[in-house]
Chain A
Amino acid sequence: MNLIDLPANVPWLSLIWLSLVIPTLIIALMKPEQKEEIRIVGTVFSFISLALTLLVYLAYDYRSPEKFQFLEEIPWLPELGINYILGVDGISLPMLLLNGIVIFTGALISWNIEDRAREYWALLLLLAAGVYGVFVSLDLFLLFIFYELAVLPMYLLIGIWGSTRKEYGAMKLTLYLMGGSAFIILGMVAMYFSGMLRTFDMRLLAQSALFSRDVQIVFFVPLFLGFGVLAGMFPFHTWSPTGHVAAPTAVSMLHAGVLMKLGAYGCLRVAMWIFPEGANYWLLPIAIATLINAVYGATIAMMQRDFKFMIGYSSVSHMGLTLMGLAAANTIGLTGAVLQMFAHGVMTALFFAVVGRMVYDRTHTRQFPELGGLFSVMPFAAIVFIIAGLSSMGMPGLAGFWAEFNIFMGMWQRFPLIAVLAGVSIPITAGYILMAAYRVFFGEMKNPEFRHLPKITVQEYVAGVILVAVLIISGIYPAYLTEPIEASVQPIAEALARAGTLGVRYP
């Protein structure tokens, strides 16, 4: 069912990612002193990209038997089966929308960057363009190229505009993520040669019985781990809190909000879709790792004294839940996983906006003992933080509830024990969120200077309102997300289930 019809002869998906490459080039050609103009160009174009993703979202027909729509195919290096193939389905669409929302709000949040604003905006938009590219690519090679494009600008963004041990954080993050992509390269090469098709077109690669069971079992590991590193999978998660804390606010928003989803998306779209038997073989170890992720991440978050570190570890915990949905490997679990990617993306963007921009940029401290009583100074920040927090605890009526509900249901069907154990993370999450809210916004004001903090700017209001609105709308009417997601994860879940029942060795 689609709400609007778009003309078919326009390359919508290319437009989406180009809508952020073009401003990158424009900004690169502007003068460094034109900060105001640079901000306007960046924000306007990120809004255009959001509008384009919305159009595509509304025009996508999830009831159609054609899962992939808005296809674009251009030969690139056809001799080696490498082509420029774009298309979206119900899994990539929510991700596109998420990226649109986060880059637009991130752009609004970035208006206070004064130092080297031109380079900042160019890199920020380039990063988001890479993210769009990953979500629209159907050719594995193309996907990988966009993936690296999304990872690398991070090094400079954190290294130049970051705080707290920024050079260390930037280097650690980049090396971890590039280590992940090294695994992916290995898996890609193996995939290319062991399927007889000699192509990187994922639609062809995902045909069943293309790969022998042994190949699937062996090479599922580098692919899943490679993407898993970016998703913050235990034990490769340590880059993520360090990186998030060191990064400037908008970059943390994009990074925790969208970039980590690239990892989970890759796990699902590449590793699990193409190697269902391999996935089926490794489900239990993955489920255990994600259990540790969720519970351990939440526990560590509870122990933090630094507000941003707490949010960083909460991301690890929530991404653990996302991966747990993947490990459930059934329709309901996968739906929950994709929904969690969306819900957590919006929610964590809001968290970082509050922590990094509204609180830290004004108070210049993130230590809980030094903060307190900020509700009277910035009630808006307190309210949006609490709404995001409620969503992350899984409060009904907000987006996070549906996501976590589906994930636990899915996991219950697959490994009931793990679902029960993972349930521990929910009260812990509630604990640290409430504690943080109390320590920062309520309680007594430790520092009297906080009374004279600058007011929340218009851009911050707009960004906060958009993010909260998305959380609430998705909480009240989740069907706009779940129906396309469910329609698209169903074939994957079926392939996984088939692989489970088959159990025989292919010749």
Chain B
Amino acid sequence: MSFQITDIPRILPELMLLLLGLMVLGSDVLTRWGRGPQAQLERAREAGQLTAIGLGLIFIVGLVQSRFLFTVPDPSGGPLDVLLTLGRNLQAGGPGGSPILGAFATDEFTMVARLTFIGAAFLTTLLAMGYRLTANPGEFYGLLIFSTLGMSIMAAATEFILAYLALELSSISLYVLAGYFRESERSPEAGLKYFLFGSLSSAIFLYGISLVYGFVASENQKAGGTPIVATLFSEVGRFATGDAASSPLLILGMLFVIAGLGYKISVVPFHTWAPDVYQGAPPPVTAFLSTASKAAGFLLLYRLLTTAFPGAVGTPRLEEFSGWTSVLAILALVTVIVGNLAALPQTNARRLLAYSSIGHAGFLLLAALIWSSTSPADRAFGTAALIYYLIVYTLTNLGSFGVLAVLTNALGSDDLGAMQGLWQRNMVLTLMMTILILSLAGIPPLAGFWAKFFVFMAGYQAGAVPLVTIAVIMTVVSLYYYLRFLKAMWILPAPETTPFKTPPVANAAIIVSTVLVVLLGLLPNLIWGTISTAASVAAR
């Protein structure tokens, strides 16, 4: 395995993201902007438009490259030959292959993840464009793009060092973004808190890696093998089998890795930063933070655990503790309970959704438990359930945090109390928020229902019946606080009835996510086939 020139098209979307980030930063710096408020607005708009167009373009490139929609036919001498040739060349770098010395997997799994992150970043950009940005818009959008780049590499990484670098790239950008509102009270606090928590967690993650590295190196030496790249997931997986899989060094390393990533996916007990940061960060950043960032953490954790530690998979049945599925089962148990119960007394909408998203992380973990089954079909189903949930969750939470961003902008507050009588003030927004909230609550026929049902199926099939029972009961608990949104918006009397308008760009983002939530609910097989393919590749 060595670096080849054909690797470049495989990581084309990542390279394009890098270029776009630099462009956005550069165009902001290189233009001479006036000082007045009008010039500031102009400057923010230009950076936003460049980012949105660029991300849209990269999304299309990624979509064509993935061959999910269509395979470009051979050029046949027609007027569209240029396009067809371009498309064919692009698809030559499609699913398959492992560029950069095997540290990077460009399989369907990566493609789905990449599209999710870029799509989420695109919608976030639209939300941010509808929001008042105070200073340095170039930095804001640039960091957003770099963070997306980091996530996209996270999901593709099959090597510890690359995974760590990607994790840091996405996290450090987000620390800055979370503290972006320097004048506000809460935003710098959010940024600092996130930074402290994140840096501690990444230190733990790094320590876990070093333990695993030591394990592989010593095992290799024992076996008398030639020196190897001991940080590839698959190399770890090769040594972590049989008796070696229960080596304390490896188990400790694995626990540290899970703990280090635990903050990224905000599972209990690594969740304490989430409510403060979600509430304090600029609303569009919260939307991005709670969705794409979490999804990236999940996908990295999943790929890491399944390829590096397949020997230590264990069982999710709580009575016989063994392996990482047991660890995840316990985390899932604590997370669904704490997340959903802590959401009950909240009065701030964003804080409430923060706890709800912690609860969702618990449901998501259920899907990963099925890896304890040895049947590839079961494993593929669990993976598909995980990806489906992540996509749906990303869409739904982007939409609902987007609504809250609009509300914060228009009403100056995101307390539940401020949402009272919203139907009188903005009917369309209320309707969309209702759909999104119901999808989060898992009400059919919306996409969130299928997602929850799939993970319950996966958890049941993995043998974690008591855990699934508790999770199912927790969905009823969660319904209570989701209904509080409906109560505030539809039932309680409005303190004020003057209508307000949704900024058109933000509206577009919310409409897209709402329509997709409804569409994926009515026709889940629109993406289920693609996801199954990606899942069966990852489960191989």
Contact = CB atoms under 8 A, between A and B. Distances in A.
Interface of A: 76-79, 119, 144-145, 148-149, 152, 155-156, 159-160, 167, 170-171, 174-175, 178-179, 182-183, 185-186, 189-190, 192-193
A145 B444 contact: yes
Contact of B525 (A79, A145, A159, A183): A79
A112 B135 CA distance: 55
A491 B532 CA distance: 39
Interface string B432-457: 00000010000111000100010011
A160 B490 contact: yes
19 contacts: A77-B524, A77-B528, A144-B444, A145-B445, A145-B449, A156-B486, A159-B490, A167-B487, A171-B480, A174-B483, A175-B483, A178-B475, A178-B476, A179-B473, A179-B476, A182-B472, A186-B469, A186-B472, A189-B468
Given A76-B525, A148-B443, A175 B480 contact: yes
B8 interface: no
A156 B434 CA distance: 11
B392 to A, nearest CB: 14
A352 to B, nearest CB: 22
A478 B410 CA distance: 62
B313 to A, nearest CB: 20
B444 A148 contact: yes
A179 B486 CA distance: 18
Nearest to B484: A171
Contacts of B445: 145, 149
B444 A192 contact: no
A189 B370 CA distance: 14
Nearest to A180: B476
B461 to A, nearest CB: 6
Given A144-B444, A156-B490, A185-B456, 9 more contacts: A79-B525, A148-B443, A171-B483, A175-B476, A178-B475, A186-B468, A189-B457, A193-B457, A193-B461
Contact of A155 (B449, B475, B486, B529): B486
Contact of A189 (B423, B456, B490): B456
Interface in B451-481: 453, 456-457, 460-461, 468-469, 472-473, 475-476, 479-480
A350 to B, nearest CB: 29
**Highest count of chain A CB atoms <10 Å: which of B449, B457, B479:** B479
B532 A155 contact: no
A182 B475 contact: yes
Contacts of A171: 480, 483, 487
B86 interface: no
Contact of A185 (B453, B487, B490, B528): B453
Given A152-B438, A175-B476, A193-B460, A79 B483 contact: no
Contacts of B476: 175, 178-179, 182
Nearest to B424: A116
A144 B449 CA distance: 11
Chain A binding surface, main DSSP class: helix
Contact of B491 (A79, A144, A156, A174): A156
Contacts of A155: 483, 486
Interface in B413-439: 423, 438
Contacts of B449: 145, 148
Given A171-B483, A189-B468, A152 B443 contact: yes
Nearest to A144: B444
A492 to B, nearest CB: 27
A192 B479 contact: no
Contact of A182 (B457, B473, B483, B532): B473
B345 to A, nearest CB: 15
Chain B binding surface, main DSSP class: helix
B456 A190 contact: no
B159 to A, nearest CB: 33
B88 to A, nearest CB: 30
B429 to A, nearest CB: 15
Contact of B487 (A159, A175, A189, A193): A159
B423 to A, nearest CB: 8
A156 B437 CA distance: 14
Contact of A178 (B479, B490, B524, B525): B479
A160 B488 CA distance: 11
B457 A192 contact: yes
Interface in B129-175: none
A220 to B, nearest CB: 16
Contacts of B486: 155-156, 159
A182 B472 CA distance: 6
Contact of A79 (B443, B468, B490, B528): B528
Contact of B460 (A149, A170, A189): A189
Interface string B3-20: 000000000000000000
A451 B179 CA distance: 70
B413 to A, nearest CB: 22
Contacts of A149: 444-445
Nearest to A148: B444
**Highest count of chain B CB atoms <10 Å: which of A79, A155, A189, A193:** A189
A178 B491 CA distance: 20
B463 to A, nearest CB: 10
A170 B529 CA distance: 39
Contacts of A160: 490-491
Interface string B483-502: 10011001100000000000
**Highest count of chain A CB atoms <10 Å: which of B438, B476, B487, B490:** B476
Nearest to B444: A145
Contacts of B483: 155, 171, 174-175
A191 to B, nearest CB: 10
Nearest to A186: B472
A179 B491 CA distance: 22
A198 to B, nearest CB: 10
Contacts of B469: 186
B522 to A, nearest CB: 9
Contacts of B460: 189-190, 193
Nearest to B381: A80
A78 B525 CA distance: 9
Q: Which 5 A-B pairs have the closest CB atoms?
A: A145-B444, A159-B491, A182-B472, A189-B460, A179-B476
A341 B497 CA distance: 45
Contacts of B524: 76-77
Contacts of B468: 186, 189
B166 to A, nearest CB: 32
Contacts of A186: 456, 468-469, 472
Contacts of B461: 193
A492 B65 CA distance: 54
B491 A167 contact: yes
A15 to B, nearest CB: 18
A186 B449 CA distance: 14
A185 B469 CA distance: 10
Contacts of A183: 472
B444 to A, nearest CB: 4
Contacts of A77: 524-525, 528
A183 B469 CA distance: 8
A76 B520 CA distance: 12
A183 B475 CA distance: 11
Nearest to A159: B491
A101 B486 CA distance: 30
Contacts of B480: 171, 175
A77 B438 CA distance: 22
A65 to B, nearest CB: 34
Contacts of B453: 185, 189
Nearest to A158: B491
A170 B484 CA distance: 11
Interface in B487-540: 487, 490-491, 524-525, 528-529, 532
A9 B2 CA distance: 63
Contacts of B532: 79
Contacts of A178: 475-476, 479
A365 B468 CA distance: 47
Contacts of B444: 144-145, 148-149
